[in-house]
Structure 1
């Protein structure tokens, strides 16, 4: 029996209905084109009567007889030079000594555009225009042509600002979907790569691409991804965060069960493990599912450096993860309830620092943690030129002033500072946020029950993590359930020549990455 267990269709349907209204809406048949050029153009003009950027250009195409045609496009979304060269100029050319053709055949024979789609109703016409295509209507033909003429206004491919590496590729995704799929194609030159496009959002009609490698990605997982995406019924999708919240397995958890990245090399590596990527037009952040807990303290650079060095860094990251969660809690518990655990000299020093402090250790930690979160958020939202300086200066000034005023002890400032720095070591921002949130209830348990409370909190947290799933895959795998082969790329990272098999729970068809050198 396979270990992958997917959510039932009924459960996902009910969840989306509750959050976004009834899933079943009355479907109305779209109004078809009439073939009367003046009537069809009048309908389009009426729809866009308040929009000054919609251009209508009527052309009399000379063939055996004069054929009136209408070109329509939206300025700013289309390449006007392309329209002039490959559409308008060919239609105005005088063609002699040719056999008479139907108006539609005559138009298609003249157009130089390689991407032509037939449209037969007004809804398709509007969507083509809004997508940046040029719409061509022919008098006497109840079928229009959507001609590819999109103008891709985009920033250049630059280095990622959120996932900085010492060694590795410097390119990152942009806001244009086709540029992002091309970056993946450059790395995965295989005919098994599948890029399936769809639109989500009744008003935004946002383009989305589901990317996976056939024969590597589990068919059940791919099917589940498409089912969840198709059940999304919202009016707008403006960023990948919209999709992430609507397809995740568990809503009421601080832990992310869908990972995001703006690095094409990271997506390519995940696809080769059997995962599925979701790219959304308008954002450089791609979603990858299923996502496991262990991935959030790993980075793409782990596979570009020596294995022994990366193993040391992974242990360091896991240690800082524990410090960011338990640092203040352990200090509160030990100084409040378990004095016997400290050496006498250290205990005397701590009590000497706390002699003039009016608050218990829990209130001290709470004040400093809240103050630091405010400073961190302020530095993040301010302009970059001054944001970093404000964060550093604000932290130093607040910490020093709080100690001199006797509100907190110097030891507490050190503990909070180490905890905050440790949270920055966690590579994934959303996982770092999860541990920042959980830090406060852990502090409350430590203040109430000491180390017993911290232990209870860790047990509850472990049980919660083991109960989570990401698209049917256990969130804590390969630790729970334990798989010995997958430990080669978990906390440790063995040399590349020893990483022969793909993750067990993510792939059942093609398990072998490379042939065993010993066989």
Structure 2
């Protein structure tokens, strides 16, 4: 038996108050924040109030539990079950119950509840007055948008579920809870829309979460690694967001949401590759604007992935692919450079990644100055020192800017990682190496799944109805059907846009 298992009692409360208190004091030895407040009631009965400082709302505990408890002590009399009478009739706190098992009482204390023990009573009154200091609802910092709601999830799971309920005012929104982590006892909710989400996917997520055996869960990233289909793939198979409106949109499409207590980032799945390239502004702006932004992102995705590799391949093997004047210009710039194109690109790429990481880790004001000035100073100094050529600085700068246009960080960092093997292949085989790398990547993507759903759904396998929200975003009145891969009830609206004569433009017949 482990130390943890030995420390938590497995028995029940006894009639003697002193023995019960001593047992709990032994469990919480060297826990200065656990408060044991001895009380003597009006009728002379001894009692003890136990709670963890900072985890309970002390004013609510005093007004709705402690004061009514003392005032009602004379009403207890010779009641055979005074704890149950307190819980059900006398206490004004909204949520209270009774327990007899010591393990349950310890669990409730660590969750932020207060415990009332009385002499000659083998039941404990559990008063759920969870409080403490948690961050209030603020604006999203990682998913900034020009148009749309500004509120973001917080570290408090109850606030997060409330934010979802504000968006989804329907009893069809189901939330199944689970506790994960032997030490942390982290609350996890699996949310979905009944009759919209696929029940098999919901059960798959629940089974994988309940099968997790780990000592603690501090962030949703822990859960992500346990429930994804392909843990050795660099591509993300679940999407995370801190925006309630984005989470609500995923629920409406039939996806499953995983909320974890202690983090503002919720997970959603199944996802496709195309979904990671979509932004909330695609749907809040008119579809002309949304399509323009989406095409821009897809264009710069290819720039971020291929530009350094193509520069290396062309300058090393395929100079005849460039105009003569441009070849002479690049050759003149590289005349005094002692390194091949691959080493030049690697020096600048690694330096750029280091500056980007430094800009994130440093304080906000200093980090921005370091990332901007560092890139300018290092790039200019490297060119003047003859370490790298000016064209490489331009290529790396464009690549860095292009990677920032990818709306999801987990996909953006995957693209940044894939650049380096493509650069190595380009340095060895030229454009043929880039093509080989592309083929291997596409084969890998075709074999990926997200909670059992093919990663490239809509294109491979091809789904005609899904084409309205992949490379383009059709008008809302034309998207009368939900995505085909994750939902059972695919009807998003009863009909499409109504014409003046009352007929639907779409007719509700989209595949």
For Structure 1 versus Structure 2, the TM-score category normalised by the shorter chain is over 0.9
Whole-Å Cα distance in 2 between the matches of residues 367 and 197 of structure 1? 49
- SS of the equivalent of 2:485 reads helix
TM-score scaled by length of structure 1? 0.92
Whole-Å Cα distance in 2 between the matches of residues 488 and 146 of structure 1? 53
Report what 1:199 is aligned to: 179
Whole-Å Cα distance in 1 between the matches of residues 289 and 73 of structure 2? 71
Question: Contact between 1:321 and 1:426, CA under 8 Å: does it hold in 2?
Answer: yes
Deviates more, 1:79-88 or 1:391-400: 79-88
Deviates more, 1:136-145 or 1:275-284: 136-145
Report what 2:501 is aligned to: none
- SS of the equivalent of 1:506 reads coil
Whole-Å Cα distance in 2 between the matches of residues 365 and 495 of structure 1? 42
Would you say 1:419 and 2:403 are equivalent positions?
no
Report what 1:93 is aligned to: 71
Whole-Å Cα distance in 2 between the matches of residues 128 and 407 of structure 1? 63
1:380-395 mapped onto 2 (5 Å cutoff): 380-395=360-375
Report what 2:383 is aligned to: 403
Would you say 1:369 and 2:352 are equivalent positions?
no
Residues 39-79 of structure 1: per-residue CA shift (max 9 Å, x gap): 111100111121122111233334xx643332111111111
Whole-Å Cα distance in 1 between the matches of residues 265 and 56 of structure 2? 25
How far 1:97 sits from its partner (Å)?
8.4
Q: What is the aligned counterpart of 1:504 among 468, 484, 492?
A: 484
Whole-Å Cα distance in 1 between the matches of residues 221 and 470 of structure 2? 27
Question: Contact between 2:273 and 2:456, CA under 8 Å: does it hold in 1?
Answer: yes
Whole-Å Cα distance in 1 between the matches of residues 98 and 72 of structure 2? 25
Report what 2:328 is aligned to: 348
Question: When the two structures are aligned, how many residues end up with a matched partner?
Answer: 491
Question: Contact between 2:237 and 2:270, CA under 8 Å: does it hold in 1?
Answer: yes
Question: Contact between 2:272 and 2:455, CA under 8 Å: does it hold in 1?
Answer: yes
Whole-Å Cα distance in 1 between the matches of residues 79 and 47 of structure 2? 15
- SS of the equivalent of 1:197 reads strand
Whole-Å Cα distance in 2 between the matches of residues 89 and 249 of structure 1? 53
TM-score scaled by length of structure 2? 0.93
Residues 340 and 99 from structure 1, CA distance in 2 versus in 1: closer, same or farther, beyond 3 angstroms?
same
Residues 426-473 of structure 1: per-residue CA shift (max 9 Å, x gap): 011111100110100000000000111100100000000110111000
Question: Contact between 2:294 and 2:471, CA under 8 Å: does it hold in 1?
Answer: yes
Residues 467 and 421 from structure 1, CA distance in 2 versus in 1: closer, same or farther, beyond 3 angstroms?
same
Would you say 1:218 and 2:218 are equivalent positions?
no
Question: Contact between 1:152 and 1:176, CA under 8 Å: does it hold in 2?
Answer: no
Residues 418 and 98 from structure 1, CA distance in 2 versus in 1: closer, same or farther, beyond 3 angstroms?
closer
Residues 365-408 of structure 1: per-residue CA shift (max 9 Å, x gap): 11111111111111111111110111111101111111111111
Deviates more, 1:101-110 or 1:278-287: 101-110
Would you say 1:78 and 2:59 are equivalent positions?
no
1:124-135 mapped onto 2 (5 Å cutoff): 124-135=104-115
Whole-Å Cα distance in 1 between the matches of residues 84 and 365 of structure 2? 60
Report what 2:123 is aligned to: 143
Q: What is the aligned counterpart of 2:473 among 490, 493, 508?
A: 493
How far 1:152 sits from its partner (Å)?
4.0
How far 1:35 sits from its partner (Å)?
3.0
Whole-Å Cα distance in 1 between the matches of residues 123 and 74 of structure 2? 26
Unaligned 5+ segments in structure 1 are 1-24
Deviates more, 1:48-57 or 1:186-195: 48-57
How far 1:99 sits from its partner (Å)?
8.3
How far 1:34 sits from its partner (Å)?
2.2
Question: Contact between 1:277 and 1:288, CA under 8 Å: does it hold in 2?
Answer: yes
Would you say 1:30 and 2:6 are equivalent positions?
no
Whole-Å Cα distance in 2 between the matches of residues 437 and 115 of structure 1? 50
- SS of the equivalent of 2:434 reads helix
Q: What is the aligned counterpart of 1:104 among 58, 80, 83?
A: 83
How far 1:292 sits from its partner (Å)?
1.3
Whole-Å Cα distance in 1 between the matches of residues 109 and 9 of structure 2? 20
Question: Contact between 1:212 and 1:275, CA under 8 Å: does it hold in 2?
Answer: yes
- SS of the equivalent of 1:57 reads strand
Whole-Å Cα distance in 1 between the matches of residues 232 and 57 of structure 2? 46
Question: Contact between 2:84 and 2:125, CA under 8 Å: does it hold in 1?
Answer: no
Give me the CA root mean square deviation: 1.8
Question: Contact between 2:83 and 2:98, CA under 8 Å: does it hold in 1?
Answer: no
Q: What is the aligned counterpart of 2:283 among 290, 298, 303?
A: 303
Whole-Å Cα distance in 1 between the matches of residues 57 and 93 of structure 2? 12
Unaligned 5+ segments in structure 2 are 497-503
Question: Contact between 1:336 and 1:447, CA under 8 Å: does it hold in 2?
Answer: yes
How far 1:303 sits from its partner (Å)?
0.9
Would you say 1:358 and 2:338 are equivalent positions?
yes
Report what 2:493 is aligned to: 514
Q: Which has the higher contact order (CA 8 A, sep 6+)?
A: 1
